[in-house]
Amino acid sequence: MKEIDQLMLANRAWAAEMLAENPDYFNRNVGAQKPVFLWIGCSDSRVAPDQMTQAVPGGLFVHRNIANLVYPDDGNLMAVLHYAVHVLGVENVVICGHYGCGGVQAALDGGADQPIEDWLAHARQVLDDHRDEIDAMPTPEEKVNRLVEVNVRDQLLHLAQTEPVKKAFEADMPLTLHGWVYDLRDGHIKPLMRVTRDTVLAEVPRPERVLV
């Protein structure tokens, strides 16, 4: 059977299973959504935010791109961020990187196809800013994993300086930014750091290593 047919069949089976468990499963979400989290993660197919957190439909507002990068001139992400924080009232924004990220690896290697190479400019900036520590890692695996971690840190700092977040902090809205990494090897999310309106961004240290 073609994979695309399998996808459709799986969808029907899932819908039937959810309805059998709870006849109101779909009806309760038809009117509106009230998610508690905005998730900014990598597009990697192995890193499925709803599954790894057992979120139900309506639980997570999601934005994904290669290497979970935050560009203030990324209209797509800024629209998602504004809508999540200022319309839906989400109080937690997560940036979640992951072990063995192909995008971060490509930034480390250089020479990816366009337009990927241009997209990865922020990740290469992270590499340049933390070159001493990355170069000091003894193995290629540790280099990419450490770059994954410091990339989450730096993207979180970019996030804190975007207009939607600055506006929320200035208005004393209860917004917290979380930096996490996901370990493909054991399925565990590992928290790295948090940023609130009281965080002095210029003094945020490099996070402890969690992926070794």
CB-hemisphere CA count at 13 Å for 44?
A: 22
- With CA atoms as reference, report the closest residue to 67 among 47, 44, 94: 44
Nearest distance from C-beta of residue 97 to Zn ion, angstroms? 7
Nearest distance from C-beta of residue 160 to Zn ion, angstroms? 22
Residue 115 CB: number of other CB atoms within 10 A? 8
Catalytically active residues are: 42, 44, 46, 98, 101
Q: Element (H or E) spanning 148, and its range?
A: helix 140-160
Interface with Zn ion (CB under 5 A), residue total 4
Nearest distance from C-beta of residue 9 to Zn ion, angstroms? 29
CA 122 – CA 181 distance, rounded (Å): 18
- With CA atoms as reference, report the closest residue to 211 among 163, 156, 139, 159: 139
Residue 208 CB: number of other CB atoms within 10 A? 9
Residue nearer to Zn ion on the CB measure, 69 or 177: 69
User: With CB under 5 A as the contact rule, which of the stretches 7-15, 96-104, 112-120, 158-166 interacts with Zn ion?
Assistant: 96-104
Residue nearer to Zn ion on the CB measure, 42 or 193: 42
User: With CB under 5 A as the contact rule, which of the stretches 15-23, 69-77, 95-103, 171-179 interacts with Zn ion?
Assistant: 95-103
Decide: 184 and 46 in contact? Cβ < 8 Å: yes
Residue nearer to Zn ion on the CB measure, 68 or 162: 68
Q: Which residue has the tokens 């072990």?
A: 99
Residue nearer to Zn ion on the CB measure, 36 or 116: 116
3-class DSSP assignment, residue 171: coil
The answer to whether 101 contacts Zn ion (rule: CB under 5 A) is yes
Nearest distance from C-beta of residue 118 to Zn ion, angstroms? 17
Site string for Zn ion, 23-62 (x = CB under 5 A): -------------------x-x------------------
Q: Element (H or E) spanning 64, and its range?
A: strand 60-65
- Residues of this chain that bind Zn ion (CB under 5 A): 42, 44, 101, 103
